[in-house]
Structure 1
Amino acid sequence: MKVSIVIVTMNHLSKLKNLLDSLFGKEQTKLKHEVIVVDNCSEDGTVDFVRAEYPNVIVHENEQIKGFAANNNKGVSLAKGEYVFICNPDIIVFPGSIDTLIRYHDRNPSVGIVCPQLLNSDKTYQASVRRFMNAKIIALRVLLKGNDATNNKIVRKYLLDDFDKSKIQPVDWAMGAALVLKRDFYLKLKGFDERFFLYVEDVDLCLRSWKLGFSVVYNPEARMIHDHQRASFNGINRKSIMHLRSMIYFLKKHKLFFSSPSYVH
């Protein structure tokens, strides 16, 4: 088994259908693979649909709601592939993209994590890579309400304002919507930190990869649509508070209140 595709879903059936269409269509990966769906107590018929329409998919049903980290760790615990592809249900995989990421990883043993170029639903570029944060950056992001169009120089640097999106290159961290890494390396990292219930666990995973000496690489030769909903920045709500708590835990864990590491210059 070359790659295990791990999908965590919770009431995302309409989007999951599009993802599964892309994974099982005529242009699906040529690599020997398996698909694992971890269902986080969906109430929209997800489990029945997947079992009826895609009987070869491995389905794990949660008995209680769990966080993003715990659910992905469960999915990987069921995996048999040399690689794992952590994939959100709101992803649509372009033909050949999984093969491209794994082929690149195979040829570059110093890489820990590789990610594709993500696109919005209209196929415009979606910013999905960043520099690492510190307390000052987080405070500015909160004050500016997560506005990516700000002219603040500190935030622009954090957002990789000078990023060449057409170039294969190392990045500090990449969004956890679509990540490829070797299963053994995932286990060496002990997976996602389950003390993050939602948000920032991807930043933490990438930082721990860098700390072990393995780079995080953005590869735009692989492209995927990410129908991303930034709910955490739509005013003060439960998700925005959860996001802030995760950021504070990240700062405490890595002692990044006054400085932030940058493995890419």
Structure 2
Amino acid sequence: MKKVSVVTINFNQDKITEELLVSIAETNTYPELEVIVVDNGSTVNPVPLWTTKFPDVKFIRSETNEGFSGGNNIGIAQATGDYYFLVNNDTEFTPGLVQKLVEILDTHPQVGIISPKLVYDFDRSIIQYVGFTLVDYYTCRNRAVGKGEKDLGQYDNLLGQTGYCHGGAMMVKKETCEKAGLMADNFFIYYEEVDWGERINKSGYQAWVRGDATIYHKESMTVGKKSAFKEYFMNRNRILFIRRNAPAFKALVFYVYFVLLVVPRNIINYTKEKKYNFISILFRALWWNVANSKDSTKLGFTVNKVS
């Protein structure tokens, strides 16, 4: 039986993380499971208290906030499983979740990574994800299959290849990480799992989704629905993704599209919403990509507020 390492990241969301740990304890029946929590430089270190409260969980304290990609990489470095189940701390498990994903990785050698169906926690009848289309390099856009649909069981029989797995919950083989590498730390947050998915796809593995495996997701518990931080990294990393993955001609088309269409549209929207400070943040995101190499580890933004 393969061992599974669940890895999650906490940053100033102790209650939310504890709810996840309780849900794992209450629903999981898979025997070969270790749970790892990386505290990503929270203002108050929760690890001493948690060590007593959750004695079966492995806690790792990072004194600095390393973001989603860096935090997961810290957890993976200390994981002992054959499979790594990377989950957001604002998720909750359902019965049979781990077994259903393990079953596919065990029996399909071509599958390197798999996600369950993600359902919004605020209304557990609404689907967030049952797959992604591939990114269109011309626009750096893709689509989440099923997003916003009522869950009427229409995807319960869905099992197969998808463009990418969802960063909120993805189980990956150790051998996949050894061949494709880990997530690029310089994304920090947003687009890192899609960039990783591109490398996993190109390394010869497939990404799959299983529709009858479900996890509940309290989306945007950490960054909020719209923030300066989110606007910066969404724009910065959208460009960075294209720089790292798109062929030269498609990248050139994207740059023209972004400068002539996306930037003016965003400025108009920021003005309508009276979020005038977002305009300078947008240009900071653009400038970062002009001034830094695609592998630069400089973030260009203060990161003490978000995991």
TM > 0.5 fold call: yes
1:114 and 1:217 in contact (8 A); partners too: yes
Q: How does 1:246-261 map to 2 (within 5 A)?
A: 246-255=237-246, 258=250
Match for residue 128 of structure 2? 126
Structure with the greater alpha carbon radius of gyration: 2
Structure-1 separation of matches of 2:216 and 2:189: 21
Match for residue 210 of structure 1? 201
| Greater relative CO (CA pairs within 8 A, separation 6+) | 1
Match for residue 6 of structure 2? 5
Q: CA deviation at 1:160?
A: 4.0
Q: How does 1:79-118 map to 2 (within 5 A)?
A: 79-118=79-118
Q: CA deviation at 1:188?
A: 2.3
Q: For 1:50, give the aligned amino acid.
A: W
Q: How does 1:155-194 map to 2 (within 5 A)?
A: 158-160=143-145, 165-166=155-156, 167-194=158-185
Structure 2 unaligned runs (5+)? 254-307
Give the TM-score taking structure 1 as reference length.
Answer: 0.83
1:75-123 per-position Cα deviation (integer Å, ceiling 9, x unaligned): 0110111111001101101011011100111011110101000111121
* Aligned equivalent of 1:237, options 212, 228, 245: 228
CA RMSD of aligned residues (A): 2.6
Q: CA deviation at 1:65?
A: 1.5
Please, which moves more after superposition, 66-75 or 127-136? 127-136
Q: CA deviation at 1:182?
A: 1.2
2:39 and 2:60 in contact (8 A); partners too: yes
Q: CA deviation at 1:128?
A: 5.7
Structure-1 separation of matches of 2:9 and 2:41: 11
Q: CA deviation at 1:231?
A: 7.8
Match for residue 34 of structure 1? 34
1:231 and 1:240 in contact (8 A); partners too: no
Q: CA deviation at 1:11?
A: 1.2
SS in 1 for 2:185: coil
2:129 and 2:166 in contact (8 A); partners too: no
1:6 and 1:36 in contact (8 A); partners too: yes
Structure-2 separation of matches of 1:19 and 1:34: 14
Structure holding more helix per residue:
2
Point out 4+ residue stretches in structure 1 off by more than 6 angstroms.
161-164, 230-233
SS in 2 for 1:195: helix
Q: Does 1:226 align with 2:226?
A: no
SS in 1 for 2:188: coil
Change (3 A) 1:111 1:236: same
Change (3 A) 1:88 1:56: same
Please, which moves more after superposition, 43-52 or 186-195? 43-52
Structure-2 separation of matches of 1:86 and 1:233: 21
Give the TM-score taking structure 2 as reference length.
Answer: 0.72
SS in 2 for 1:174: coil
Structure-1 separation of matches of 2:237 and 2:221: 16
2:155 and 2:212 in contact (8 A); partners too: no
Structure-2 separation of matches of 1:38 and 1:258: 38
Q: CA deviation at 1:241?
A: 1.4
SS in 1 for 2:238: helix
Structure 1 unaligned runs (5+)? 142-154, 261-265
Match for residue 152 of structure 1? none
